[in-house]
């Protein structure tokens, strides 16, 4: 940034206001600083902005209540794939001795989340885990990098085109698998949950490796595995079933392994969490992708020069970073997030805290169509609180803000943001600074 004397010459708008003791006390909440003072508002849009992209080394994905399954190819982010791993639990262990096995069916209920093209055919495969889904003593969550192995045998498969209006999809599993499980319940070889886990560690729900369609969200607590049976000696009797559900008696009993392959994309050199890629290395874009853990980092390296204005006699009245979203990067199938949380990270991209205002409410970046005539969309990022932190603590000068969409840990919603040097529209910081003179 240029020296402060030159910087002051580039101020866009200066509004001089004289006020009495009470005129600005409520909206500014500045106390005695403004008593018997002259106030000047200065609008500035010349502070330097630095935007970059990095990926978290791992992301907790055993949060929420969503099983996320599918695969697609994104033109910017590359391959996106998610499989779910679930620990099961029967809530009844009794099957009558004279019962006869009919079938075994897994039902999955949509939770209304989808990403990419739901008009294309999908494939879901069910496999059996070969090891119990269990945290180690050093773990608190499962992550998108957690590896869980399965047996090779496919227990069941379904090809379908998603229809959210149908609410639920059902997948008939192998009769041999169902009969074996049925027989153990009927013989009372499975009489409690420990005995059940000894036999069935859990299941995996996986997409086809060649699928290029969509990711679908299913409600984890509504997963239902039903063993249907009947009684041959009483043919008029209704068929009965024993139901097995996802284990909701404890936390971390299911997770999503969300992975990406960025080879051949502008993100192919994205490495460790501590290493950013500047927007200039990404076609002047900064990128965000939920589930995978990609996020945009924003730094304001010259903001501390505010202190040089009027001998540091002033406050930031409002400040927003205005970032354009190029509509050509979005569609109804690949849509952006309306709102994003804001976190502060240190120079190595370690999380420090979630940004909140003086009332304790989290600060949120939001989408705003400022120029509806031209169908232009912007992400507005309020940064007053962050600037105040930087001004009051020199350690924060190396810190940055990251943007995190809602449902960041169990979705794949992505965003493509114009960088600070994008020729279409540079991302700029618009700041109103209030100066008071005693």
- Delimit the domains of the chain by residue range: 4-56+272-437, 66-251
pLDDT in tens, 384-435: 999 988 888 888 889 999 999 999 999 999 999 999 999 888 899 999 988 8
The structure's pTM equals 0.87
pLDDT at residue 83 in the model: 98
295-327 burial, b at 16+ Cβ within 10 Å, e below that, comes to bbbbbbebbeebeebeeeebbbbebbbbbbbee
- Whether 35 shows a pLDDT value over 60: the answer reads no
Mean pLDDT, the chain, rounded, equals 88
pLDDT at residue 373 in the model: 60
pLDDT at residue 370 in the model: 64
Which candidate, 279, 238, 209, 289, places its Cα nearest to that of 420?
Answer: 279
**Range of weakest confidence among 15-24, 29-38, 287-296:** 15-24
- Whether 225 shows a pLDDT value over 70: the answer reads yes
Measured distance CA(189)–CA(172) in Å, rounded: 24
Would you call 21 exposed, middle or buried from its count of C-beta atoms within 10 A (0-12, 13-18, 19+)? exposed
Residue 22 confidence class, pLDDT cut points 50, 70, 90: very low
Measured distance CA(24)–CA(35) in Å, rounded: 9
pLDDT in tens, 196-213: 999 999 999 999 999 999
pLDDT in tens, 345-386: 999 999 999 999 989 999 999 998 765 566 789 999 999 999
Mean pLDDT of 134-158: 94
Sign of CA dihedral 24, 28, 34, 40: negative
Which candidate, 112, 290, 127, places its Cα nearest to that of 207?
Answer: 127
pLDDT at residue 12 in the model: 32
pLDDT in tens, 64-80: 999 999 999 999 999 99
Measured distance CA(415)–CA(295) in Å, rounded: 9
Mean pLDDT of 132-160: 94
- Whether 44 shows a pLDDT value over 90: the answer reads no
Q: What angle do CA 292, 69, 132 make, to 5 degrees?
A: 90
């Amino acid at each position: 940034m240029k020296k402060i004397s030159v910087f002051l010459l580039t101020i866009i708008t200066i509004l001089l206001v004289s006020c009495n003791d009470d005129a600005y006390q409520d909206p500014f909440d500045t106390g005695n600083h403004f008593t018997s003072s002259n106030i000047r508002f200065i609008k500035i849009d010349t502070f330097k902005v630095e935007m970059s992209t990095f990926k978290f080394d791992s992301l907790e994905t055993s949060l929420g209540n969503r099983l996320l399954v599918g695969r697609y190819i994104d033109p910017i982010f590359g391959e996106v794939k998610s499989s779910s791993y679930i620990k099961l639990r029967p809530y009844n262990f009794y099957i009558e001795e004279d019962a006869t096995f009919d079938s075994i069916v897994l039902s999955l209920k949509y939770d209304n989340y989808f990403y990419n093209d739901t008009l294309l055919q999908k494939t879901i495969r069910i496999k059996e885990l070969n090891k119990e889904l269990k945290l180690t003593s050093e773990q608190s969550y499962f992550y998108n990098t957690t590896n869980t192995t399965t047996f090779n045998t496919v227990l069941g498969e379904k090809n379908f085109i998603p229809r959210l209006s149908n609410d639920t999809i059902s997948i008939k599993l192998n009769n041999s698998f169902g009969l074996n499980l049925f027989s153990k319940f009927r013989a009372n070889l499975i009489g409690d949950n420990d005995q059940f886990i000894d036999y069935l560690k859990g299941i995996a729900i996986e997409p086809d490796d060649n699928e290029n369609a969509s990711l679908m969200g299913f409600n984890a607590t509504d997963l239902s595995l039903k063993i249907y049976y009947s009684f041959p000696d009483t043919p008029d009797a209704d068929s009965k079933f024993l139901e097995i559900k996802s284990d909701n008696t404890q936390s971390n009993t299911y997770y999503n392994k969300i992975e990406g392959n960025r080879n051949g994309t502008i993100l192919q050199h994205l490495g460790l969490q501590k290493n950013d890629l500047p927007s200039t290395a990404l076609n002047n874009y900064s990128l965000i992708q939920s589930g995978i853990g990609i996020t945009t980092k924003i730094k304001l390296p010259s903001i501390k020069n505010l202190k040089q204005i009027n001998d540091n006699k002033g406050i930031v009245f409002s400040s927003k970073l205005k970032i354009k979203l190029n509509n050509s990067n979005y569609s109804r199938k690949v849509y952006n997030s309306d709102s994003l949380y804001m976190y502060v990270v240190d120079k190595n991209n370690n999380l420090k805290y979630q940004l909140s205002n003086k009332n304790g409410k989290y600060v949120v970046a939001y989408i705003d169509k400022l120029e509806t005539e031209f169908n232009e969309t912007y992400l507005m990022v309020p940064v007053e609180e962050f600037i105040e932190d930087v001004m009051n603590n020199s350690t924060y000068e190396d810190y940055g803000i990251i943007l995190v969409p809602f449902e960041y840990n169990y979705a794949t919603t992505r965003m493509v943001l114009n960088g600070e040097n994008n020729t279409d529209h540079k991302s700029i910081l618009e700041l109103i600074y209030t100066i008071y003179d005693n």
